[in-house]
Amino acid sequence: MKTEEVAQRLVTLCREGQWETAQQELYAADAISIEPYETPNFPKETKGLPAIIQKGHVFTSLVEKMHSLAVSDPLVAGNAFACTMTMDIKMKGHDRMKMSELCVYEVKDGKIVLEQFHL
């Protein structure tokens, strides 16, 4: 897949909340995920597809209610693309909040090899 195709497919799956499908289909086995900062539930850096999928399971288990989710169209440049993700979310044990991230991805050989989130 070309970067544009990977980007569009990822956005489509994320808009549907199909996180693990996106990861299984589009991520390289040795992909790296970088968060804005480390938290008790999420390390700053996660390496490898199995660990990234597990991180997604942890996130999902902490969500009490997803009130809304919006993902922008991707902006593609060379082998990279970015999109924004905005969630109106209630996490277990926390107040309802709105969260917006800039999500940046690098593609190599038709697979996502790096994802990085910025608040």
Residue 89's pLDDT is: 96
Residue 104's pLDDT band (cuts 50, 70, 90): very high
Query: Is the domain covering 3-118 a CATH 3.10.450.50 domain?
Result: yes
Residue 79's pLDDT is: 98
What average pLDDT does range 23-27 have in this prediction? 98
What average pLDDT does range 12-22 have in this prediction? 96
Residue 73: count of CB within 10 angstroms of its CB: 11
Cβ 92 vs Cβ 69: under 8 Å: no
What average pLDDT does range 23-52 have in this prediction? 96
Cβ 83 vs Cβ 11: under 8 Å: yes
